[in-house]
Amino acid sequence: MVAEAPGSPAADASAPRRAVLALARVEMVRMLRHPVTVAATLLLAGLWVSDWFTTKTTRYPVLQELDHDSAMGMMILLGGAALIVGNLAVLRAHRDGTTGLSRVLILPDHARTLAHLLAPLPLAVVGAVLILARMAVLAICAPAAGHPNPYELAVGPATVLLLGALGVLLGRLTRSAVVAPLALLVLLAGLVFLEPLTNGGKALWLAPQGQPTPMMPIPVSLLARPAAAHLGYLLGLAGLLATAAVLRAGARGVRVAGAGAVALACTVAGGTAQLSPPSPAVTAARIAVMNQPSQHETCQELGHVTYCAFAEFSRWIPAWNTVVQAVVARVPATARSTQLTVRQRIAIPAFDRGTGPEQLLAAWRADDAAAGTPGAIGIDTSWGDSPAAANLAGQVAYRLVTGQTGEAPIEQRDGATACGGAGVLVVWLAGQASTHAGTGLGLLAEDARDERGGVSFYETQRFPTVYVPTPELTVATQALARPRADIAARVQQSWATLTAPGTTAAQAAQILGVPAPATSTAC
């Protein structure tokens, strides 16, 4: 094969393309080395590492929730870096006073613009590697639930490309270096205000971050998030911004028009698809799982306690059992004959389809009866923080102390009430289960959702199950501050008296050796 001469038409035709790629490689390195990019990357990695030690989401992660959260962090930090650094790169000649010299270069403005548009690609790859590393660590090193959506994971890198293209376009529209940071500020403000303005509706999918995940984790099959359509929508938007940038730089021709048409088609198709409601099959599955959870769960028995969970969350059962057994261990053997069943449930208002809380509670009771586990103790799909441990411990304690399930009449949605010695025992048993549960008890007591004071234990974020008034809470809190072995011995010795219906909080305080409350509660 004969090599083409340097001045041949074929060599001349390929020269601009090679020059664009060469300039793009230089700009890629510049972007990756820029202090803003380095700081954003380190901050993102540092936040994800610190989450491992500070939040429940990484101790007991739900991967189909964290994939969306990862995309959000990447959009704000790496996407913001691509926006600012890309804009500064376009304005470099203006800032350095070399605009006139650029006119004698081999590459026209539109070719240099194309090189700038390619520069965020390695940064998007870096973000993808960080996301995959995070998901892999959580899946391997923690009792993770569910699995991530690959399209949801790709949204983060797509937002980097989108904001990078926006930075280049802004650099072609104006020479002000302040516009890019202002655009990022507007984006961040939109993250805060757009959700309440749209009431969390489908219109949020038109924003880069998309619609947030439900208020509580749910099985993957029930999510039905249009992640693939949203990814296509974001890539289409990025293509439109890139086309606008090269047009502004003077590019014309069939290729530019074709690229713009493809980008517009992706944007329209993806934007339309992501606004479609869930299919009837998904809607029916959501209602069935919420109303009849027993038909969609697997159960296992540990320590004479039956635990029923959705398959994706079954890795959390040993952690639940640790809390339950810590409560059971402080109860006299004669009171342990009560059969305990812990059943996982979801309660999301958007899935009710017009039914109210009373209907949902009735459906749960009927489902428990049909499954042969009447009065099962409810637990939701969030786990790992201290209130969750306290909620479970409080419900188990109420069941063991009273022999009841905490089921108030259906019309009474604020839960059953535990008064007197029984209420004191419920709170003490819950708080002593673990340091984690004790911390959670304090947080539940500070919760302002109930104007009555005291403390409520919840089976899901939506429904309180057991309420203990303030006097009983005060006595139990004082008992928790005393040596655990001393209080435990008093509880074992006076169990029958403490659990008797007529025992008041003041009498319970005398038995436990703590100051009596200033007031008493009538049950």
* Other CB atoms within 10 A of residue 21 CB: 13
What does the pLDDT read at residue 10? 40
Q: The whole model's pTM is what?
A: 0.84
Question: Phi/psi class of residue 166: alpha, beta or left (left: φ > 0; alpha: ψ in -120 to 50)?
Answer: alpha
CB-side neighbour CA atoms (13 Å) of 311:
5
Q: How far apart are CA 244 and CA 264, in angstroms?
A: 11
Residue 181 has pLDDT above 70, yes or no: yes
What does the pLDDT read at residue 448? 60
What does the pLDDT read at residue 117? 94
Question: What's the pLDDT tens digit per position in 301-355?
Answer: 998 899 999 999 999 999 999 999 999 999 988 877 778 999 999 988 777 665 6
Confidence of residue 393 (pLDDT cuts 50, 70, 90): very high
Confidence of residue 2 (pLDDT cuts 50, 70, 90): very low
Q: What is the CA radius of gyration of the chain?
A: 30
What does the pLDDT read at residue 9? 39
What does the pLDDT read at residue 200? 60
- In this structure, of 58-72, 145-159, 492-506, the range with the lowest mean pLDDT score is 58-72
What does the pLDDT read at residue 100? 54
Query: Which phi and psi angles does 95 have, rounded to 5°?
Result: -70, -35
Instruction: State the average pLDDT over residues 100-116.
Output: 74
Let me know how many helices (H) and strands (E) the chain has, helices first: 24, 7
What does the pLDDT read at residue 375? 85
Q: How far apart are CA 411 and CA 420, in angstroms?
A: 24
Instruction: State the average pLDDT over residues 120-124.
Output: 96
The pLDDT > 70 percentage for the chain reads: 89
Q: Which residues, 6 or more positions from 347, have their beta carbon under 8 angstroms from its beta carbon?
A: 216, 290, 360, 380, 460, 461, 462, 463
Query: Which phi and psi angles does 374 have, rounded to 5°?
Result: -60, 140
Q: Which residues, 6 or more positions from 337, have their beta carbon under 8 angstroms from its beta carbon?
A: none
What does the pLDDT read at residue 353? 62
Q: What is the mean pLDDT of the chain?
A: 86
Residue 452 has pLDDT above 90, yes or no: no
What does the pLDDT read at residue 459? 87
Question: What's the pLDDT tens digit per position in 277-294?
Answer: 888 899 889 999 999 999
Relative to beta strand 464-468, strand 455-458 is antiparallel
Please report which residue ranges of 142-226 form alpha helices under DSSP H. Answer: 150-173, 179-198, 220-223
Q: How far apart are CA 365 and CA 116, in angstroms?
A: 62
Question: What's the pLDDT tens digit per position in 407-446?
Answer: 544 445 567 888 899 999 999 999 999 999 999 999 998 8
In angstroms, the Cα distances linking 104 to 11, 99, 298, 381 are: 20, 10, 72, 64
Mapped onto helix, strand or coil, the DSSP state of residue 286 is: helix
Confidence of residue 517 (pLDDT cuts 50, 70, 90): confident
Q: Whose CA is closest to 155, among 98, 35, 72, 63?
A: 72
Residue 98 has pLDDT above 60, yes or no: no
Instruction: State the average pLDDT over residues 393-405.
Output: 88
What does the pLDDT read at residue 405? 63
Domain boundaries, the chain: 13-201, 286-512
Which residues are 378's β-sheet partners? 343
DSSP 76: I
Residue 110 has pLDDT above 80, yes or no: yes
What does the pLDDT read at residue 57? 62
What does the pLDDT read at residue 109? 84
* Other CB atoms within 10 A of residue 248 CB: 16
Q: How far apart are CA 22 and CA 318, in angstroms?
A: 56
